[in-house]
């Protein structure tokens, strides 16, 4: 049997599901795996699925695809556009769309598994395919690991994954080293002493403390980071007080931090802590501020040797000029938890889904940002071909490169 990948993709696209709710998607995945004669485990990390193709001695290669959609109302006008709705974690009814291309990721991985099953006599080793939930929450990989996916399946020698991006269809983007930034979401609570707005001298004002802290935090990037390095310190929310004549007892700041590697992460976090504590001390606070890391995504770092090997394999398979360096993305991913937890190399690449002629015209006209919808846009609409085929081929080429 042959999986009709176009039908599979358009069906997934029509029926996107929010993070940790990918039950229909997981059901389609397991149905296809069963048709391929593969055994699988489902319900890993709530809605994840994993399967094994064991094919004798040799390396263990993990292939990962994420499955979740986003709360975005689709405006592509495509015949197979989503009209789906879902309920988000706050209980709100929201539109749902595959605006990040995870439907294409699932399609490509199933297509690649079919090819690998059909060519067992040409390779040896073990392929583990991981269909991960909730990438958009940065929580799905952790959830699958917490459910024991690294113990219940053969441990990887390398982890491979791919993401759709607004490059011309056919093009692959990959770089050695940091491919995507690390990020942390942090809540800082500053403690003052509340009182009457007319008697500030009898209080410790957390509003002034928060204002000074926000300003001083700006110097982490502007004065303490090498201008050649990348770091982002954003204070995205600040909350204190309820009324003009009451000095509140505390203030809360929410920060989003981004950096290219673990060393930079440690440096920035240390600076945040130092400044927050120092500003509290400068205000005469009687209680140390509280700093809580709400969520944390590691940098997506491509192994240098494996990336060089894979780039050559892509060039050999698809022709010179197929692979480009897309630069480092300041967005973040949770794929690397699998490789980090297992202590093995990762290669994570991007592949294009934009009509090459439209891309070339926008590039020539200097209108790429305006005319080519990016991931998470309501207009994100990868062309079906050759995007599907290149996604399948890239996974097969990559898996075969690292298998026996």
Interface with Zn ion (CB under 5 A) = 100
Most distant CA pair in the chain: distance in Å?
A: 83
CA distances, 170 to each of 66, 88, 261, 353, 398 (Å)? 21, 35, 30, 7, 15
Q: How far is the CB of 164 from Zn ion (least distance, A)?
A: 8
Nearer to Zn ion, 350 or 402 (CB): 350
Backbone dihedral angles phi then psi of residue 95, each to the nearest 5 degrees: -70, 155
Q: How far is the CB of 29 from Zn ion (least distance, A)?
A: 17
Name the helix (H) or strand (E) containing 310. Answer: helix 304-318
Contact, 258 vs 181, CB < 8 A?
Answer: yes
Instruction: For Cα atoms 287, 289, 290, give the angle at the middle one, nearest 5 degrees.
Output: 120
Tokens of 288: 């140390």
Euclidean distance between the first and final Cα of the chain, in Å? 26
Other C-beta atoms within 10 Å of 322: how many? 19
Residue among 65, 78, 83, 76 nearest 29 (CA): 65
Q: How far is the CB of 137 from Zn ion (least distance, A)?
A: 10
Residue 71: helix, strand or coil by DSSP? coil
Q: How far is the CB of 368 from Zn ion (least distance, A)?
A: 19
Nearer to Zn ion, 100 or 106 (CB): 100
Nearer to Zn ion, 8 or 100 (CB): 100
Residue nearest to Zn ion (CB): 100
Nearer to Zn ion, 55 or 162 (CB): 162
Nearer to Zn ion, 337 or 402 (CB): 337
Q: What is the 3-class SS of 19-63, one letter each residue? A: CCCCHHHHHHHHHHHHHCCCCEEEEECCCEEEEEEEECCCCEEEE
Nearer to Zn ion, 232 or 238 (CB): 232
Nearer to Zn ion, 38 or 180 (CB): 180
Nearer to Zn ion, 162 or 307 (CB): 162
Q: How far is the CB of 100 from Zn ion (least distance, A)?
A: 3
Q: How far is the CB of 103 from Zn ion (least distance, A)?
A: 11
Question: Alpha-carbon distance 18 to 38, whole Å?
Answer: 26
Nearer to Zn ion, 36 or 169 (CB): 169
Backbone dihedral angles phi then psi of residue 162, each to the nearest 5 degrees: -145, 155
Residue among 45, 24, 38 nearest 106 (CA): 24
């Amino acid at each position: 049997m042959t999986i009709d990948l176009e039908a599979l993709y358009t069906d997934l696209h029509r029926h996107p599901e929010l993070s940790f709710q990918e039950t229909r998607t997981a059901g389609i995945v397991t149905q296809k795996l069963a048709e391929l004669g593969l055994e699988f485990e489902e319900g890993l990390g709530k809605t994840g699925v994993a399967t094994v193709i064991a094919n004798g001695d040799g390396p263990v290669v993990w292939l990962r695809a994420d499955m979740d959609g986003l709360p975005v109302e689709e405006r592509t006008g495509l015949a197979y556009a989503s009209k789906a709705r879902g309920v988000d974690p706050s209980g709100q009814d929201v539109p749902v769309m595959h605006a990040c291309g995870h439907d294409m990721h699932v399609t490509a991985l199933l297509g690649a598994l079919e090819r690998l099953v059909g060519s067992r006599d040409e390779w040896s080793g073990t392929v583990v395919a991981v269909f991960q939930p909730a990438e958009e929450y940065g929580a799905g990989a952790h959830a699958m690991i917490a459910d024991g996916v690294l113990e219940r399946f053969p441990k990887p020698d390398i982890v491979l994954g791919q993401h759709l991006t607004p490059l011309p269809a056919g093009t692959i983007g990959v770089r050695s080293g940091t491919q995507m930034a690390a990020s942390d979401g942090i809540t800082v609570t500053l403690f003052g002493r509340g009182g009457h707005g007319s008697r500030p001298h009898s209080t410790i004002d957390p509003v002034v403390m928060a204002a000074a802290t926000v300003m001083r935090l700006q110097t982490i990037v502007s004065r303490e980071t090498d201008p050649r390095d990348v770091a982002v310190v954003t204070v995205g929310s600040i909350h204190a007080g309820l009324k003009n004549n009451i000095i509140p007892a505390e203030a809360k700041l929410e920060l989003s931090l981004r950096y290219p590697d673990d060393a930079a992460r440690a440096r920035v976090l240390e600076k945040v802590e130092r400044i927050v504590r120092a500003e509290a001390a400068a205000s005469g606070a009687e209680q140390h501020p509280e700093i809580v890391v709400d969520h944390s995504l590691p940098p997506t770092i491509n192994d240098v040797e494996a990336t060089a090997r894979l780039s050559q394999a892509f060039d050999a398979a698809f022709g010179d000029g197929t692979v480009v360096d897309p630069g480092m993305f300041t967005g973040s991913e949770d794929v690397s938890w699998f490789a980090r937890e297992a202590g093995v190399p990762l290669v994570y690449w991007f592949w294009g889904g934009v009509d090459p002629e439209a891309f070339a015209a926008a590039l020539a006209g200097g209108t790429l940002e305006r005319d080519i919808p990016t991931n998470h846009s309501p207009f994100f609409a990868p062309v079906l071909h050759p995007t599907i085929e290149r996604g399948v081929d890239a996974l097969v080429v990559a898996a075969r490169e690292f298998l026996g």
